[in-house]
Amino acid sequence: MHALLSLLFFLSLSLVEADVVARFQDVPECLEYFYQGKVPEWGATTPGAARLCQRFANRYHFATLYDTAHRIAVYSAYRFQPSNGGGREKRWFVEPQLVNSSWAAEMKDGYWLGKDNPDIFLGERQALNEDYKHSGFDRGHLNPNGHHAVPGRNATFTLTNVVPQNPKFNQDAWRIHELDLTDIFRTQCSEAYVLVGAVPSTDNWIIKNNVRRVNIPDYMWNAYCCVDANGRPVLSGAATARNTEQNRVDQHSLTELSAFLQQFDTSPVGQLFHNHCQA
């Protein structure tokens, strides 16, 4: 009996500590990053998609739908937190469970995971730091580090949360857009639920040794749903941008964003937020 209880306890622990999950709904803590616990249908049928509950320093911080074929995220989902400073994380993390599902359920510094496993290629189903080196592209955050307090801020430095981003666009128009959102979230929302995604290109890649390693997305987009202290939706918005020197962010309503995304998929975009973030 005791052994059985221990086994059940162990099983429930290991369930709770999964990083790569079959469904976000399987991990209640992971669902908390989606407004009303409702996971969008957008991207759900992406071939080779993996669902990541982003775990760091012993707890979850956000969720990512990751496209293991293009080696970039479809989107990351998070709740805004005011930053408390704390500097920039210097490491770049990778997801051990995308290498081997029995590996540790927490993001790991890719440098040391590689050193510890010299005979295993970590990059079959995810991008690695060396893919980005000398590529001419930034490691552009989807879930931005500036929208979190440490240690959530550190956790955004996982390569499963970044895409090859035009450096000028990343450091100028998109950065300013993220700062504008910070102002809105701080002043007008009790809680803000955010989705940030990328639309992959048909045939534009970071190529290393003649191998197509990381897809360079054509567009980046984001969407938010803001609620008041009673959890009632009060504000929503969205934006899209070409991932180019054009360095311009276009503001949209959620409805306009849905129409934009619909160009890239035959199945309906559906609700990005429960009831389109309406009361």
Please report, as ranges, the residues that interact with ligand NAG according to CB under 6 A. 57, 86-90, 100, 102, 150-151, 154
Q: What is d(CA 59, CA 173) in angstroms, rounded to the nearest whole number?
A: 32
CB-CB contact of 140 with 165 (8 Å): yes
Least Cα distance to 272 among 4, 34, 20, 14 occurs for: 34
Nearer to ligand NAG, 67 or 89 (CB): 89
Residue 55 or 252 having the CB closest to ligand NAG: 55
DSSP 23-66: -GGG-HHHHTTSGGGPPPSTTTT-TTEEEEEEEETTEEEEEEEE
User: Minimum distance from CB of 155 to ligand NAG (Å)?
Assistant: 9
The string of DSSP codes covering 147-172 is G--TTHHHHT-BGGGEEEE-HHHHHT
Quote the least distance from Cβ 11 to ligand NAG, whole Å. Answer: 18
Nearest C-alpha neighbor of 63 from the set 176, 190, 156, 180: 156
Query: Which residue, 150 or 173, is less far from ligand NAG as judged by CB?
Result: 150
Task: Using the minimum distance from each CB to ligand NAG, give the nearer residue, 151 or 270.
Answer: 151
| Backbone φ, ψ for residue 205 (5° rounding) | -135, 155
* Nearest distance, CB of residue 150 and ligand NAG, angstroms: 5
CB 56, min distance to ligand NAG, A: 7
* CB closer to ligand NAG out of 100 and 188: 100
Residue carrying the six token digits 């995810």: 126
Compute the half-sphere exposure of residue 127: CA atoms within 13 Å on the CB side of its CA. 31
**CA 41 to chain centroid:** 15
CB of 100 or CB of 246, closer to ligand NAG: 100
Please tell me the distance from the alpha carbon of residue 43 to that of residue 170, in angstroms, as a whole number: 23
Q: Using alpha carbons, select from 184, 188, 206, 84 the residue that is nearest to residue 138.
A: 206
Closest approach of ligand NAG to the CB of residue 80, in Å: 18
Cβ closer to ligand NAG: 101 or 188? 101
Rounding to the nearest 10 degrees, give the CA dihedral for residues 169, 175, 178, 182.
-170
* 2/88 with CB nearer ligand NAG: 88
Closest distance between ligand NAG and the C-beta of residue 147, in Å? Answer: 15
H/E run at residue 96: helix 96-99
CB of residue 143 to ligand NAG, shortest distance in Å: 15
Minimum Å distance from CB 61 to ligand NAG?
A: 11
